[in-house]
Amino acid sequence: MLTITTIEEIKKWRNDFQEKHPRKKIGFVPTMGFLHRGHLSLIQKAKETADIVVVSIFVNPIQFNDKKDFEAYPIDLQNDKALLSDLKVDILFAPSKDEIYGSGNPEIIIDYPSYTNVMCGKNRPGHFQGVLYIVHNLFQYVRPHSAVFGLKDYQQYLLIKKMTEELAFDIDIIAADLMREENGLALSSRNARLSKEGIEKALQISKALFLAKEVWENNKNTTAGEIKTILFEKMKNLEIEYASVYNSEILQEFNEEETFHRAVIAVAVYIENVRLIDNVILE
Amino acid sequence: MLTITTIEEIKKWRNDFQEKHPRKKIGFVPTMGFLHRGHLSLIQKAKETADIVVVSIFVNPIQFNDKKDFEAYPIDLQNDKALLSDLKVDILFAPSKDEIYGSGNPEIIIDYPSYTNVMCGKNRPGHFQGVLYIVHNLFQYVRPHSAVFGLKDYQQYLLIKKMTEELAFDIDIIAADLMREENGLALSSRNARLSKEGIEKALQISKALFLAKEVWENNKNTTAGEIKTILFEKMKNLEIEYASVYNSEILQEFNEEETFHRAVIAVAVYIENVRLIDNVILE
């Protein structure tokens, strides 16, 4: 595996690759590192659809609206590199913060105003602007043919897919299913910050989501309000940021009395000051 | 000259060109057509710095905040083609509105909030967002090595230059001087909509700017307020949208009492319902 840390080098690598292998396809998996089985499944998916795989590891400061969350974000580059080598990833792009933002934070704003003030955007001002910015520029540097994003960050996946189309990138955006521990807990780098008791509490999240999904599958006339009641009842010991039912294409929250044919039930909670998100897709 | 009208074809042309001529440089001049000597000077500049020149003609509806202004925008594709052929332009990219926005106007916003609510942005909400969007995507389709923009639209030039850097395009943004008629009138496609009397009135604009420049060059302690007084005095018969002195790097308006080492004096006026802009750069 070749590790590249500068923008100049990754661009040079990309141009050389184009010249040498004009027909080969590049798959891309952008990550913030501290890789777990969830990431590895994204990489597996990239390998299936491309000839060569580039993984990036960059903890993007401008997408953290909470500086403490940024500083607490776990990092283990040595272990990440070992995992990526095992998976026979071809290129790791791991730039420093200075390499990306050395000349100061960007002043330009890329935004989806009507999509970024619901769900995770509502309480994280600037978060998705930061995500869209870094993904845009990683796409510019790597110029992949496809890129894989996990459905755990459903809103992120949807916005990146829209941005890729509207900003005319020739990149196929591939969705990868959310991965769970056997006990149901959604995989997340942030789980590493939870105590045993925290993990135990966190299991309520997926239990609530699974029950809500089951109820809906047994009765498609279940309203959004009834789903919300289940979520809040089943997670009553947790500090809930949001827990609701959203149109899975335009991310608008359904009204209490509405029923639906397809939706995403999405949740964000805080446990031991760690922000956890999870969702199930209904269709 | 090869005329291309679809996104698919221009991308294909671009990819083929890359394969056949990996070392050759593409220069790009995006325009809204109705070409005049000003545009031709941009094309000349592109030819000097690139091996092959692509010109685009596209009247971009989403940058017109005033629908009437869009509908009144002059079009003469036949004449434009003849001019471009004479100049030995290689590629004309002239897509239809449907080709670019067939699936609806984009929901994504690209913006520089602190730069787009001064000067031309102040009274044209969404104008620069529309400009940045279309230039971004034209850059994606054409992937030029350099692109030329006129200093007549000083704010547009500056914002595109910033966007190119911050959104990681490998494109050299080249500035071309504002071109004038012998009588001083800044060249503009919109001049075609003025009557003889309108043209006569419009001459006051450049006269006011030249006088302001001369006063400053003779006394560098001239304040922004004194410059403004000259402008408003010399254009007192005109309907002025703005006329002021701005920091030429960050576009902030100088306060009345401020002096400066470098600046842009910029003006927008309405004559016979036609919006005209002009500027002089002081340094």
Domains of chain A, residue spans? 2-176, 189-278
Average pLDDT over every residue of A205-224: 97
| Chain-chain contact of A107 with B107 (C-beta, under 8 angstroms) | no
**Interface contact B110-A112, CB threshold 8 A:** no
B113 touches chain A (CB under 8 A): yes
Q: Residue B106's closest chain A neighbor by CA?
A: A166
pLDDT 10s digits, B76-135: 999 999 999 999 999 999 999 999 999 899 999 999 998 998 998 898 899 999 999 999
CB contact under 8 A, A22 and B19: yes
Q: Could you report the per-residue pLDDT of A49-108, keeping only the tens digit for each?
A: 999 999 999 999 999 988 988 998 999 999 999 999 999 999 999 999 999 999 899 999
Instruction: Name the minimum distance, in Å, from the CA of B121 to any CA of chain A.
Output: 15
So what's the ipTM on this one?
0.94
The DSSP output letter for A180 is: B
User: What element of type H or E holds A27?
Assistant: strand A26-31
Could you say which of 3.90.1570.10, 3.30.1490.100, 3.40.50.1220, 3.40.50.620 is the CATH number of the domain covering A2-176?
3.40.50.620
Q: Residue B93's Cα: distance from chain center in Å?
A: 18
Residues of chain A in contact with residue B249, where contact means CB-CB under 8 angstroms, are none
d(Cα A265, Cα B161) in Å, to the nearest integer?
42
**pLDDT tens, chain B, 283 aa long:** 999 999 999 999 999 999 899 899 999 999 999 999 999 999 999 999 999 999 999 999 999 988 988 998 999 999 999 999 999 999 999 999 999 999 899 999 999 998 998 998 898 899 999 999 999 999 999 999 999 999 999 999 999 999 999 999 999 999 999 999 999 999 998 999 999 999 999 999 999 999 999 999 999 999 999 999 999 999 999 999 999 999 999 999 999 999 999 999 999 999 999 999 999 999 9
| B56 neighbors B29 (Cβ within 8 angstroms) | yes
Task: Show contacts of B40-44: CB within 8 Å, 24+ apart.
Answer: B40/B83, B40/B87, B41/B150, B41/B176, B41/B177, B41/B179, B42/B148, B42/B149, B42/B150, B42/B176, B43/B84, B43/B87, B43/B89, B43/B148, B44/B87
Instruction: Give residue B214's Cα distance to chain centre.
Output: 25
Q: Is B198 exposed, middle or buried (0-12, 13-18, 19+ CB in 10 A)?
A: middle
Residue B211, chain A, CB below 8 Å: the answer is no
Q: Residue A3: helix, strand or coil by DSSP?
A: strand
> Is residue A152 a contact partner of residue A38, using CB atoms and an 8 Å limit?
yes
pLDDT score at A229:
97
Average pLDDT, chain A: 96
Q: Residues of B with CB below 8 A from A18's CB?
A: 18
d(CA A95, CA A84) in angstroms, rounded, equals: 16
Residue B256's Cβ-count burial label (10 Å; 0-12, 13-18, 19+) is middle
How close is the nearest chain A Cα to the Cα of B108, in Å? 5
Å from A138 to nearest chain B CA? Answer: 9
Are A108 and B107 an interchain contact pair (Cβ–Cβ within 8 Å)? no
Minimal Cα–Cα distance from A115 to chain B, Å? 9
Count CB neighbours of A132 within 10 A: 24
- The catalytic site residues of B sit at 39
Closest Cβ–Cβ partner in A7, A11, A167 for B136 = A167
Put simply, whether B140 touches A (Cβ < 8 Å) is yes
- DSSP letter for each residue of A186-251: BP-GGGGG--HHHHHHHHHHHHHHHHHHHHHHH-TT--HHHHHHHHHHHTTTSEEEEEEEE-TTT-
Cβ B167–A7 below 8 Å, yes or no?
no
Q: How far apart are CA B228 and CA B253, in angstroms?
A: 11
Packing angle between helix A224-234 and helix A196-218, nearest 10 degrees? 150
Least confident of A10-14, A19-23, A49-53, B144-148: A19-23
What SS3 state is found at A116? coil
Q: What is the pLDDT of residue B158?
A: 97
Q: Is B11 on the interface with A (CB under 8 A)?
A: yes
Strand partners, B56: B30, B93
Nearest to A107 among B107, B109, B112 (CB): B112
B141/A contact by beta carbon, under 8 A: yes
Model pTM greater than 0.90?
Answer: yes
Segment A117-144 shows an average pLDDT of 95
Of A93, A102, A96, the closest CA to residue A13 belongs to A93
User: Residue A129's CB: how many other CB atoms inside 10 A?
Assistant: 22
With CA atoms as reference, the chain B residue closest to A133 would be B167
Nearest CA in chain A to B21: A19
What does the pLDDT read at residue B198?
Answer: 97
Nearest by CB to B167, from A19, A137, A170: name it. Answer: A137
**Mean pLDDT in residue range A259-263:** 96
Residues of A in contact with B113 (CB under 8 A): 109
Q: Write the burial class of residue B249 (CB in 10 Å: 0-12 exposed, 13-18 middle, 19+ buried).
A: exposed
Q: Is A136 in Cβ contact with B11 (below 8 Å)?
A: no
Per-residue confidence (pLDDT) for residue A189, from 0 to 100: 87
> Where residue A270 falls among pLDDT bands split at 50, 70, 90?
very high
- Per DSSP, the residues of A64-113 read -SSHHHHHHS---HHHHHHHHHHTT-SEEE---HHHHHTT-S---EEE-T
- Count of alpha carbons within 13 angstroms of residue A111, beta-carbon side: 18
Q: Which residues are paired to B180 by β-bridges?
A: B186
Rounded CA separation B119/B31 (Å): 21
In one-letter notation, the amino acid at residue B210 is: F
Q: For residue A136, what are the contacts with CB-CB under 8 A and spacing of at least 6?
A: A110, A163, A167, B167, B168
* Residues of chain B neighbouring A110 (CB-CB closer than 8 A): 108-110
Q: Could you say which of B109, B111, B168 has the minimum Cβ distance to residue A140?
A: B168
Task: Classify residue A190 as left (phi > 0), alpha (psi -120 to 50) or beta.
Answer: alpha
Q: Which residues of A are designated catalytic? A: 39
A-B CB pairs within 8 A amount to: 60
Nearest CB partner across the interface for B112, out of A108, A115, A136: A108
Q: How far is CA A198 from CA A75, A201, A275, B246, in A?
A: 20, 5, 12, 56
B7 CB near a chain A CB, below 8 Å? yes
Q: Looking at the complex, does the CB of residue A104 fall below 8 Å from at least one CB of chain B?
A: no
Q: What is the pLDDT of residue A103?
A: 83
Q: Do B110 and A108 touch (CB under 8 A)?
A: yes
Q: What angle do CA A266, A269, A274 make, to 5 degrees?
A: 130
Minimum CA–CA partner of A112 in chain B: B108
Backbone angles phi, psi at A268, to 5 degrees: -130, 130
Fold category of A189-278 in CATH = Pantoate--beta-alanine Ligase; Chain: A,domain 2 (3.30.1300)
**In angstroms, how far is the first alpha carbon of chain B from the final one?**
40
Say what the pLDDT of residue B87 is. 96
Which residues of chain A from 152 to 171 reach within 8 Å of chain B, CB to CB?
162-163, 166-170
Question: Under a CB-based contact definition with an 8 Å cutoff, are residues A76 and A282 in contact?
Answer: no
Distance CA B174, CA B46 (A): 8
Query: For a pLDDT cut of 90, what percent of chain A falls above it?
Result: 91
Q: Residue A277: enclosing H or E segment and its boundaries?
A: strand A274-282
Q: Is A107 touching B (CB cutoff 8 A)? A: yes
